[in-house]
Amino acid sequence: MAAVRRQSINWNPVGWLFGILVLAVGVANLLLVHPVPAAGYALASLVYFPPVGTWLEAKCGMSIHPLVKLALAVAVVMFTLGVSDLGDMID
Closest CA to 36 of 73, 70, 86, 74: 86
61: left (phi over 0), alpha (psi -120 to 50) or beta: left
| Residues 54-63: tens digit of each pLDDT | 888 889 888 8
Q: Which of 11-25, 43-57, 75-89 is least confident?
A: 75-89
What percent of the chain is modeled with pLDDT above 70?
A: 79
pLDDT tens, position by position, 21-68: 989 988 988 888 888 888 988 998 988 888 888 888 889 888 888 898
Residue by residue, DSSP assigns 65-77 as: -HHHHHHHHHHHH
